[in-house]
Chain A
Amino acid sequence: MTSTSRAAVVTLPTDDRIVITREFAAPKHLVYRAWTTPELVAQWWAGRQGRVDSIEIDLRVGGRWRYVMTAHEGMEVAFHGEYREIVPNERIVSTEVFEMPGVPADQWQGTLNTAEFTEAAGRTTLTVLVQCPSREVRDAIIASGMEGGMQESLAALETVARALA
């Protein structure tokens, strides 16, 4: 069976949300396993941006996770969070905080992320919802480039930016 290379789709449905979706040619328990098993997360989380240094996952409500990678440019990048809700093979809700270099830990800002795994005809759609908890955090994220303030989809943005450039 060939794997169809379907693109991830990023949409910005409201002022404080980012949604990423992707379909996989596999049942959802396998996508869930790849999403939650440290040795497997280490194989995909960095994309092609660098090398994964460590993946810690304590997969239970209240449990913590922490992912660390070194980007190609040598910069260490770390994220951590706490699991809030876990429905095996279905849904994981967790916080996510970027450990911002040079910024005191009490000023780090986080999001609440929901990963959902839905299966149809043997294919799985993974949906990751990034919920920014407050306008303040959202604005900070907007200011840093993680645009949460646009309601338009990427397609609409692309149309505007490309057609009029």
Chain B
Amino acid sequence: MPIWAYDYGMARAATTADTFNAVAEPRRRQILDLLAQGELPVTELVDRLGLAQPQVSKHLRVLREVGAVRVREDGRQRLYRVDGRALKPIFDWVSRYEALWNERMDELEAVVTRLRDQEDGR
């Protein structure tokens, strides 16, 4: 599939779009950043974010719904962690977009180098 088709329409899979929307919210990105450093209980997230627990729980629920965050029981605690698999479509997208621009810039550099050599040789 051409990268443009991927970028602009054909890959509008609901699950991917949901993940994009889920992580588009700044607080949820903060939560992902914190959990990326290791598992945390919700109380710890509440402390670090300075938010009320219901808000944090709501964000965690959204993140869990798209699979970006997993939870496990540990005694009386519930520990949250990031699941990179759900974030991979986003990473893949940026990678593809960057790959396209890398290709363009490489080709542009080839053109510019020819122009420079022509000018130098004049």
Contacts and interface: CB of A to CB of B under 8 A. Distances in A.
A7 interface: yes
A126 B105 CA distance: 9
Contacts, number: 185
Interface residues of B, number: 54
Interface residues of A, number: 63
The B interface is mostly helix, strand or loop, or mixed, namely helix
Nearest to B87: A161
B94 A157 contact: yes
A157 B90 contact: yes
A26 B119 CA distance: 11
Interface stretch (B17-25, B42-50, B58-66): B17-25
Nearest to B85: A165
Given A31-B108, A163-B36, 5 more contacts: A26-B116, A49-B2, A145-B8, A150-B23, A154-B94
Interface of B: 1-9, 11-12, 16-17, 20-21, 23-24, 26, 29, 32-33, 36, 81-85, 87-91, 93-95, 97-98, 100-113, 115-116, 119
